[in-house]
A = this chain, B = another copy of it.
Amino acid sequence: MTIDRITPIDGGITAPAGFRAAGVACGIKANGKLDLSLLASERAASAAGVFTTNLAQAAPVVLSREHLATSSGTGCGVIINSGCANACTGADGRDHARRMADCTAAALGCEPTEVLVASTGVIGVKLDIAKVERGVKDAASRLSPAGGADAARAIMTTDPFPKESSVEVSSGGRTFRVGGMAKGSGMIEPLMATMIGVVSTDAAVEPALLARALKAAADETFNAITVDGECSTNDCVFVLANGASGVELSERDWPVLVAGLKAACEPLAIGIVRGGEGATKLITVRVTGATSSAEARRAARAIANSPLVKTAVHGGDPNWGRLIAVAGRSGSAFVLDRAVVRIGSVTLFSDGTPYDDRAPEAEAYLKGTDITLEVDLGTGGRGESQMWTCDLSAEYVRINAEYRT
């Protein structure tokens, strides 16, 4: 199926038909800000998730995995609290995550296993579950097709801005919508357990296909970003597909489905990087000329996490030698004499020759806030990959060195 058009639209997580959302303040955050986010589908939806690979997994992550397995990928709602990660909280934590699902299911009139649960905030602190239970009732009473914006605010911890996106996808005369919200890595209060994304669509997609498509889309968006190379105990991305548009997507619609999910996820992922701790610049790292896309990704990840590269961009220093050094140590195949380094459109190294006379041009480019760094690994292969990261500033250190209490 061809993709005719993907158009940005308003509405965020509630832009697709048949979804309602709400964000309320239930008292977890001492400052009275929104801290409980509820998304509900008007009908049972296909559900899927991708989760942190961290072996220290928070209770809600463990529970949501179980629910997706038990319900065979059916979901009615997603409940997320901010301000407390419910991680490293032992048996009480597991009980609290279960009670979040139970009371949400009661409010929505579905099975607890059809509820996905996430938490974000401080690690090692227990939830005040009574507050959450009252909050869920409150949120359920406020569910609205216009509630996406509140829902996106209620999952923020110290993110500098909420992250929402929504698109309409047209393909062969059919139209469906994909919406999303995410929260990122504002760790001014350290120990925040970090990245959460929620995606909704009014296309009908059977659960196994939806799970594969979410993974494919996440690999190119949420899994292609880094702020500081850390991976939290609570990271997860959920998707609900409720079919309210009447459009059914099957295996043959794979490119349309993945493109639609990616179109909603990419701005969220980039938003997380732009809102990264102490970030002043968005850096797109492109690696080409690798023996495979996995090799390209490995080199791109090494560059995107390199403190020397990130500080150089922060300082506006066209320091191509650092890109060479990181590519060479990344573990991916690399041929120095055929490698190429570009900052923006300025080639600073190729065929074994440095072009330092072009440094002023690259330096001028680096004064911008959207920076592209490109390395051809010189193997002659066609593998390539793209990642997004941010610069490393003294502000990052200040934020993360502050005492957490």
Contact = CB atoms under 8 A, between A and B. Distances in A.
A390 to B, nearest CB: 12
A28 to B, nearest CB: 17
Interface string A300-325: 00000111100110111101111011
A27 interface: no
A228 interface: yes
A400 interface: yes
Contacts of A402: 315, 317
Contact of A90 (B55, B191, B232, B352): B352
A246 interface: no
A122 B229 CA distance: 27
A224 to B, nearest CB: 17
Contacts of A30: none
A322 B190 contact: yes
A349 interface: yes
B88 A191 contact: no
Query: What's the number of copies of this chain in the assembled complex?
Result: 2
B329 A53 contact: yes
A405 interface: yes
B329 A230 contact: yes
A54 B187 CA distance: 33
B394 A397 contact: yes
B397 A88 contact: no
A231 interface: yes
A88 B403 contact: no
B403 A316 contact: yes
A189 to B, nearest CB: 11
Nearest to A392: B397
Interface stretch (A7-15, A137-145, A149-157, A353-361): A353-361
Most chain B CB atoms below 10 A, which of A124, A306, A316, A363 = A124
B230 A312 contact: no
A54 B191 contact: no
Given A90-B353, A349-B88, A394-B394, A363 B328 contact: no
A190 B319 contact: yes
B124 A401 contact: no
Contact of A230 (B191, B325, B337, B404): B325
B394 A398 contact: yes
A396 interface: yes
Given A123-B325, A394-B394, A401-B317, A354 B88 contact: yes
A301 B354 CA distance: 33
A326 interface: yes
Contacts of A405: 359
A386 B305 CA distance: 23
A333 B88 CA distance: 17
Contacts of A312: 190, 400-401
A364 interface: no
A56 B325 contact: yes
Contact of A400 (B233, B308, B404): B308
A120 interface: no
A300 to B, nearest CB: 16
Nearest to A194: B325
A307 B191 contact: no
6 contacts: A55-B334, A56-B328, A123-B325, A190-B308, A231-B329, A392-B397
The 5 closest A-B CB pairs, nearest first, are: A315-B401, A56-B328, A123-B321, A311-B400, A394-B394
Given A122-B321, A190-B321, 10 more contacts: A55-B333, A56-B339, A57-B336, A88-B324, A88-B352, A89-B354, A191-B322, A230-B307, A314-B397, A317-B402
